[in-house]
Amino acid sequence: MPDLSRFQKAWLICLIGSLICVGLMAARSKMAHPDRNDSMQYISAAHNLSAYGIYSQSLAGKKENINPGIGREPGFPFVMAQIYSLGLGDIEQATMTCLRSQEGCGVQPYKAVQWLNRIFFALAGIAVFWLSLSFFSSLKLATIAGSSVWLNIKMQSSMDQIISDPLALVLVCGFTLLAAKTLVTKSHKKKILLAVTTGFSLSFLILTKAIFMYFFYLSCIILIGYLIALKIDKVQIKKFTLPALVFVITSALLPALWINRNGEISGHYKLTDMREGIALSARNIFHDMTLPEYFTSFVYWIPGSGDSFARRFIPEEHWIRFDLSNPDGFFRKGHGDFSTNVQRLIEEDNVSPEEARQKWTDELKRQILSNPVTHALTTIPLFYRGILRDIFIPLSLPGMIFLIFWAFRNRQMILLAVLSPAFFSLVFYPLVSLNVSRYQITAAPAFAMGLVFFFVMIHEWKKKRKEKRIPA
Question: What does the pLDDT profile of the chain (472 residues) look like in tens digits?
Answer: 356 788 889 999 999 999 999 999 998 887 778 887 788 889 889 988 888 888 988 876 677 778 888 888 999 999 999 998 888 877 777 777 777 777 788 888 888 999 999 999 999 999 999 999 999 999 999 999 999 999 998 888 888 889 999 999 999 999 999 999 998 898 888 999 999 999 999 999 999 999 999 999 999 988 887 777 666 566 677 778 888 999 999 999 999 999 999 999 988 888 888 678 889 999 999 999 999 999 999 999 988 788 999 999 999 999 999 998 899 999 999 989 998 999 999 988 888 888 888 899 999 999 999 999 999 999 999 999 999 888 999 999 999 999 999 998 988 888 998 999 999 999 999 999 999 888 999 999 999 999 999 999 998 888 887 777 766 5
- Residue 418: HSE in the Cβ half-sphere, 13 Å Cα cutoff: 28
In whole angstroms, what is the distance from residue 309 CA to residue 248 CA? 48
Give the alpha-carbon dihedral of 135, 209, 204, 427, to 10 degrees: -30
The closest alpha carbon to 450, from 410, 414, 407, 386, belongs to: 407
Beta strands in 209-262 (DSSP E): none
Alpha-carbon distance 50 to 82, whole Å? Answer: 7
pLDDT for res 98: 79
Q: What is the pLDDT of residue 1?
A: 37
Residue 53, class by beta-carbon neighbours within 10 Å (0-12 exposed, 13-18 middle, 19+ buried)? exposed
Q: Which residue, 57, 163, 81, is CA-closest to 120? A: 163
Task: Render the burial of 64-74: b for 16+ CB within 10 Å, e for the rest.
Answer: eebeebbbbbb
Please give the Cα distance from 211 to 209 (Å, whole number): 5
The span from the CA of 228 to the CA of 127, in Å, is: 32
Burial of 377-410, coded b for 16+ CB within 10 Å and e otherwise, reads ebbebbbbbbbbbbbbbebbbebbeebbeebeee
Contact status, residue 207 vs residue 75, Cβ threshold 8 Å:
yes
- Residue 271 burial (CB count, 10 A): 18
What is the number of other CB atoms lying within 10 angstroms of the CB of residue 41? 19
Contacts of 339 by beta carbon, 8 Å cutoff, 6+ apart: none
- Note the helical H segments in 137-187: 139-150, 165-184
φ, ψ (nearest 5 deg) of residue 258 = -70, -40
Structure confidence at residue 77 (pLDDT): 94
CA neighbor of 337 nearest in space, from 321, 360, 353: 360
How many angstroms separate the most distant Cα atoms in the chain? 86
Of 427, 435, 437, the C-alpha closest to 282 is: 435
Backbone φ and ψ for 282, nearest 5 degrees, come out as -65, -25
User: How far apart, in whole angstroms, are the C-alpha atoms of residue 134 and residue 180?
Assistant: 8
Burial class of residue 329 in the structure, from the number of CB atoms within 10 Å of its CB (0-12 exposed, 13-18 middle, 19+ buried): middle
pLDDT recorded at residue 231: 65
Alpha carbons 128 and 110: distance in angstroms, whole number: 27
Burial 278-306 (b: 16+ CB within 10 A, else e): bbbbbbbbbeebeeebeebbebbbeeeeb
- Helices first, then strands: H and E counts in the chain: 21, 0
